[in-house]
Amino acid sequence: MNQETLVLVLSSLGIAQALFLCLYLFTLKKGNRKANFFLALIIFGLTLRIGKSILNTYLPLDPWQRNLGLAGILLVGPGLWLYGRTLFYRVAKPLKKEFLHFIPYVLFSVFCFAIPNRFDTTSLLIYYAVFLHLLVYLLIAAQLGFQARKRTQQTVLAWYRDLVIGVTIIWVFYIGNVSGFIPFYIGGAICYTFLVYIFSFLLLKKHSFQLEKYQGRQLDQKASQSLMHSLRTLFQEEQIYLNPQITLSKVAQSVGTQPKMVSRVINEITGKNFSEFVNSYRIERAKHLLSSEASQHEKIAAIAYDSGFNNVTSFNLAFKATTKLTPSEFRKQAL
């Protein structure tokens, strides 16, 4: 298989996977359906643009066909901004007003036969105008995420940030290509292929496409901070994490609230789930024991149990995931 064939296969796989994601999101009835719709528009708009790049590399396209592909960019910016607003605020704005942002896409597609696309100065200016349109929405989307950082859980913010960064990378690639700084034209399609499969991976993990889990009524900030203070007191002073049989229900009972409230507060303030939150305290204790001269002759298994873990395997996995070192390696470095 030569290089051109490999590039074609990789690019085509990315387009196929992107179309699958679009279909899935357009038909998904669970969760925030409006957010799913706008996310599908983002992916569909990028797919139109990337698909045009692939076809234009291997087939001679007419100007109107190239314009239809370019028009996809006019879907991406509004979709990205409206997706963020819906994700962060659950905006109940009428659909008619929301779709005003997609008028440029509709006009560009309808008049694709009349819009110049002949690689001349006029065509180049139109190309830059389309990508300037996306740049404006990228800046607005970044500002939106920044403004929502104090009222939105970290998992949601991280997902939206990564989505904005992914679209920005594609924007930079195509602007760099048309400006002559990046000569590998089809590279945009390959980059998009990898991004699409990352999105798919997150989907399979049921993570980023179900970010609405805690996006209902916002918690009162004072009540949230008060509950978090009670939890930290419970863990730091009473060291409840040393009990290997600790559960979310038991912790909730200790602080006098519902398990789902404890889970939500931990998730929104720390960005961790309950298990990760508990293990963070256990690992800090284990690090203290491993670096203590008084415990230097204790076995790793004993330290695992003394830190609240109920088996050595889970201790080793959690410890390395956090510190990037095994307990033995950490002890050697610490001592």
One domain, residues 177 and 193: yes
pLDDT recorded at residue 95: 56
Give the model's confidence band at 142: pLDDT under 50 very low, under 70 low, under 90 confident, else very high. Answer: very high
Answer whether 236's CB lies under 8 Å from 242's CB: no
pLDDT tens-digit readout, 33-91: 888 889 899 999 988 888 887 777 777 888 999 999 999 999 999 999 999 988 877 55
Measure Cα distances from 249 to 132, 188, 241, 242, 280 in Å: 52, 49, 13, 16, 19
> What percent of the chain lies above the pLDDT cut of 90?
32
What's the total number of domains in the chain?
A: 2
What pLDDT does residue 90 have?
Answer: 59
Torsion of CA 121, 122, 125, 129, to 10 degrees: -170
Domain of residue 288, CATH code: 1.10.10.60
Q: How far is CA 170 from CA 135, 141, 167, in A?
A: 11, 16, 5
**What average pLDDT score do residues 289-309 get?**
89
CATH label of the domain that carries residue 86: 1.20.1070
Question: Are 57 and 159 within one domain?
Answer: yes
Q: What is the pLDDT of residues 165-178, one digit of tens each?
A: 988 988 888 888 77
- Give residue 79's pLDDT: 94
Question: Domain boundary residue among 186, 214, 242?
Answer: 214
> Is pLDDT of 138 > 50?
yes
Q: Are residues 205 and 226 in the same domain?
A: no
Q: What is the mean pLDDT of residues 280-304?
A: 90
Are 205 and 57 part of one and the same domain? yes
* Average pLDDT value for residue range 254-282: 87
CB 87 within 8 A of CB 160: yes
| 296 and 169 in a common domain | no
3-class SS at 62? Answer: coil
Same domain? 155 vs 278: no
Please state which of the ranges 57-61, 305-309, 316-320, 328-332 shows the lowest mean pLDDT: 57-61
Does residue 164 sit in the same domain as residue 62?
A: yes
Q: Which of 202, 177, 197, 179 is nearest to 187 (CA)?
A: 177
Residue 1's pLDDT is 56
Q: What is the pLDDT of residue 187?
A: 62
List the domain range (segments joined by +) for residue 136: 3-214
Contact 59, 104 (CB under 8 A): no
Region 209-216 average pLDDT: 51
Inform me whether the pLDDT recorded for 135 exceeds 90. Answer: yes
Same domain for 165 and 269, yes or no, is no
Confidence of residue 283 (pLDDT cuts 50, 70, 90): very high
pLDDT per residue as tens digits for the range 116-126: 988 788 998 99
What is the residue type of 288?
H
Q: Are residues 39 and 82 in the same domain?
A: yes
Residues 84 and 186 in one domain: yes
67-76, 90-99, 128-137, 272-281: which has the minimum mean pLDDT? 90-99
Domain boundary (214, 237, 269) is at: 214
The rounded mean pLDDT for the chain is 83
pLDDT at 205: 57
60 and 193 fall within a common domain = yes
> 316 and 173, same structural domain?
no
**214, 237, 260: which is the final residue of a domain?**
214
